[in-house]
């Protein structure tokens, strides 16, 4: 089984959010795919958490070490197709990369972002959501 995972899922696992156990259970043994933008999004999420005093720099750096242990395969998506998805759906390109990735690799998208999940479903992508 393959899943396209978004940043919300990765962060939830790394910072021990309530959905962590369910996410690990669902994805255990699966092949995890993501567009090349995801590592930068992870870094941005950690920087925002530091800014909001939710994490210290040391905690964020420790989480990055853990992130590098996740067997995540970064796969290419066509920029023009992703921009088309973004423009037609009224979403940001970062979300469109995930949707296009799921479309291209015919893999369900696993996300905690309800808005992203809704757009993906409207575009015919199978979506797995986990409640907190």
pLDDT for position 132: 60
Pick the CATH number of 2-129 from 3.30.70.20, 3.40.50.1010, 3.30.230.70, 3.40.50.800: 3.40.50.1010
Inform me whether the pLDDT recorded for 130 exceeds 90. no
Portion of the chain with pLDDT greater than 70, in percent:
99
SS3 21: helix
Q: pLDDT by residue (tens digit) across 2-56?
A: 999 999 999 999 999 999 999 999 999 999 999 999 999 999 999 999 999 999 9
- The region that residue 110 occupies, defined by phi over 0 for left and psi between -120 and 50 for alpha, beta otherwise, is beta
Task: Read off the pTM.
Answer: 0.93
* Residue 16 structure tokens: 């021990």
What is the secondary structure of 67-83 as a DSSP string? HTTS-EEE----HHHHH
* Residue 28 structure tokens: 């255990």
* Residue 68 structure tokens: 């590098």
């Amino acid at each position: 089984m393959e899943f396209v995972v978004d940043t919300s899922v990765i962060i939830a696992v790394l910072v021990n959010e309530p959905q962590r156990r369910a996410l690990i259970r669902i994805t255990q043994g699966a092949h995890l795919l993501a567009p090349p933008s995801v590592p930068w999004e992870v870094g941005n999420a950690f920087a925002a958490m530091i800014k909001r005093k939710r994490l210290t720099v040391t905690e964020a750096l420790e989480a990055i070490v853990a992130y590098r242990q996740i067997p995540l395969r970064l796969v290419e998506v066509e920029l023009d197709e992703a921009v088309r998805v973004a423009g037609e759906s009224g979403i940001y390109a970062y979300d469109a990369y995930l949707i296009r990735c799921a479309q291209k690799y015919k893999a369900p998208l696993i996300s905690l972002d309800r808005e992203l999940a809704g757009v993906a479903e409207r575009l015919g992508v199978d979506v797995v959501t986990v409640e907190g």
